[in-house]
Amino acid sequence: MLTQSVSPGLAADALQTSESDPLAAYADRTLLIVDDDRPFSTRLARAMEARGYEVQVAESVAEGVSLVESRAPAFAVIDMRLGDGNGLDVIARLKEKRPEARGVILTGYGNIATAVTAVKLGAFDYLAKPADADEIHGTLMAQPGERADPPENPMSADRVRWEHIQRVYELCSRNVSETARRLNMHRRTLQRILAKRAPR
């Protein structure tokens, strides 16, 4: 179990207070990240800290709700699928504690029905994984009804596919046969993909 706090001082040092910085309008820059993919959440926490947020990280619904109860953040980035439940439970509790908070749901299992449910429960927006820090930051800062600007260097379709395969592979404890079965892919095809470098 991990709960990570990033020093407010570090966040303040990283904050650009010019008019071009959308965070400058927010006195409270607290951000909660709830994701059980530790490498992803660690990278995202560092990237968001560099953008001026004061970050806390949790790996489960229970941890996320606990942090919301103790200090409801102004912003949240929450994975839909967590080991102990659904990230929507964290969003719902956040909106009860702090109605003006902006929460973004992330999921690798995106569909329209889930997106509608997320928004009804109070999510500000909905992004499919893998989403990068620029895309997440832009979404958190977007005006209601407006779309965030597209990222300057989005992942290629090949890279998104590769990232998805790698995620399923890790979730299957790096078992090639089980990963191939779940992806409905021939084992040898999967082995060839895993042997190659990540596409750009």
Q: Answer whether residue 176 is part of any domain.
A: yes
Give, in order, the Cα–Cα distances in Å from 137 to each of 1, 40, 113, 162, 185: 26, 15, 24, 24, 35
CATH number of the structural domain spanning residue 14: 3.40.50.2300
Residues 100 and 167 in one domain: no
Residues 174 and 88 in one domain: no
Alpha-helical (H) ranges within the chain are 8-14, 38-50, 61-70, 88-97, 112-120, 133-141, 157-171, 176-182, 187-195
Residues 49 and 130 in one domain: yes
CATH number of the structural domain spanning residue 179: 1.10.10.60
Residues 43 and 132 in one domain: yes
Q: Over the stretch 84-127, which tens digit does the pLDDT of each residue have?
A: 988 889 999 999 999 989 998 887 655 556 666 777 777 777 78
pLDDT reported for residue 5: 44
Instruction: Report, as ranges of residue numbers, the positions in the chain whose pLDDT lies below 50.
Output: 1-19
Name the domain count of the chain. Answer: 2
Its pTM stands at 0.62
Q: Which domain holds residue 166?
A: 157-195
pLDDT reported for residue 199: 75
pLDDT reported for residue 151: 56
Q: Answer whether residue 47 is part of any domain.
A: yes
Residues 103 and 173 in one domain: no
Q: Answer whether residue 102 is part of any domain.
A: yes
Residues 130 and 162 in one domain: no
Q: Answer whether residue 175 is part of any domain.
A: yes
Q: Answer whether residue 68 is part of any domain.
A: yes
* DSSP 8-class letter at 24: G
